[in-house]
Chain A
Amino acid sequence: MTEPSTTGPATTGTAGPDKVASAEQIGLSAREAAALPPRDAASWAKKVDRLQVDPRDGVRGTNVAGRRLTGPVQGFGKMWQKTYRMDAGPGVQPQQAIATWREHFPEFWPKGNRFAGALTGINPGDVALLDLAVGGGVKLSTGVFVLYADSESFTLMTPQGHMFAGWITFSAEREGDTTMVQAQVLMRANDPLYEIAMTLGGHRKEDKFWAATLTALGLRLGIADPKVDTRSTCVDSKRQWRHSSNVWHNSMVRSVLQTLAAPVTGLGHLLRGSKRGMKSQPNG
């Protein structure tokens, strides 16, 4: 224990791989360094209040536009840290693994799920639209926001209404003579309905999803028999009841309603179209 009212001991350690030399390392003065943008500036998305999306082919594209981003602080359920790790072997460099993952991200998703992102791959500030298979012929329409991306990691953050509030970080790093690739989810179920769904098999389904994704990535990287290790830790067992009203945005409920309403909505569009067509016909 430290003595109160005294300067505590300095706690020093080392952290993280360096990608770019610091201002001090390249001999800049404090004033020159202050004028430079931070080294991580290009890796972070610019601040957004609400998401804006462009329509994308192959997905419904609902439940994303106008939504706010949600982190673990805004979620409802217990907080989980789930880590999926795969040994990519000595021949794969971390930057190579991440470049492949960022460029071909949707291709590694399990069948039945659609990720409609930018054609240029994963870049900070992008919004991707998702259609996720949830069973019973229902597709959960939601999205993700690319919060951060550099050569060794990238992070997706979820919007209001997504199954969970939080982020998923995909990273690769050298450990000894091998490269470890991982996906790590820091999340809380977004509302009470999702919390129940996660408890009743949702977590298991998510574990399978990311294990399948990592396996597909491993095969693309040339690993003969990719093995994925899954580890889940409950970081906070308390539920945040003040966020139970998040259920209003629940994309699952809205997706079901949108699926049920689709024939009526389609008919409405059709009728409005034919009415306009009749109006525009010249009088004979």
Chain B
Amino acid sequence: MDARAITMDVRRVGEKTAVVDIRGEVTAACEPVLMSAYEAAGGSATNRLVLNFAGLEYMNSGGIGMLVTLLVRANRQHQQLAAFGLSEHYREIFELTRLDEAITIYDSEESALNGAVR
């Protein structure tokens, strides 16, 4: 069985915002990677986390479940979650699963950050 790599690089934008650049495959198996990225993003010191899905190559339903877990964690810390870089296909999946009602989707990083850094 082949294992595929996922990378999540964290960039801080301002004091309260962090961007996570996701590249590769989002499945339930990458939960430790996402949670490490969440910690690297500053944990509770960050009040808004922006997920960049421009490098997303594949996502199954386990990946969506993992994003819900991240959402719960962020809500516990009173943090907002936002996303950009979603292709039409993945945007539809967010809408189908109604995850878009909790994670605000933006068309670009600029608009996501404008929404984030006020």
Contact = CB atoms under 8 A, between A and B. Distances in A.
What is the predominant secondary structure among interface residues of chain A facing chain B? strand
B40 interface: yes
B91 to A, nearest CB: 9
Most interface-central of B4, B28, B60, B65 (chain A CB within 10 A):
B60
A38 B4 contact: no
Contact of B95 (A8, A37, A47, A79): A47
B11 A16 contact: no
Given A22-B57, A150-B60, A169-B65, A15 B6 contact: yes
Contacts of B27: 15-16
Contacts of B4: 14-16, 18, 22
B71 A73 contact: yes
Contacts of B62: 16, 153, 169, 171
A17 B41 contact: no
Interface string B61-93: 110110011011001100000000001011011
Contact of A169 (B40, B42, B61, B89): B61
A47 B92 CA distance: 6
Interface string A12-54: 1111111000100000000000000111110111111000000
B98 A71 contact: yes
A147 interface: yes
A44 B72 contact: no
Interface residues of A, number: 52
B29 interface: yes
A147 B11 CA distance: 33
Contacts, number: 157
B68 to A, nearest CB: 5
A262 interface: no
Nearest to B26: A15
B40 A236 contact: no
Given A4-B15, A11-B33, A71-B97, A39 B57 contact: yes
A5 interface: yes
B96 A7 contact: no
Interface in A139-178: 147-148, 150, 153, 155, 157, 167, 169, 171, 174
A74 interface: yes
Interface string B6-37: 11111110110010000011111110110011
A236 B72 contact: yes
B87 A12 contact: no
B96 A6 contact: no
Given A6-B12, A11-B8, A18-B4, A70 B98 contact: yes
A177 to B, nearest CB: 12
Given A10-B9, A37-B89, A155-B61, A147 B33 contact: no
B117 interface: no
Interface of A: 1-2, 4-18, 22, 37-41, 43-48, 68-74, 79, 81, 147-148, 150, 153, 155, 157, 167, 169, 171, 174, 184, 186, 235-236
Given A38-B87, A153-B60, 18 more contacts: A4-B12, A11-B9, A11-B36, A13-B6, A13-B33, A14-B5, A14-B29, A15-B5, A15-B33, A22-B57, A71-B97, A73-B98, A81-B69, A153-B62, A167-B64, A171-B62, A186-B65, A235-B72
6 contacts: A5-B15, A10-B7, A40-B59, A43-B60, A73-B71, A147-B96
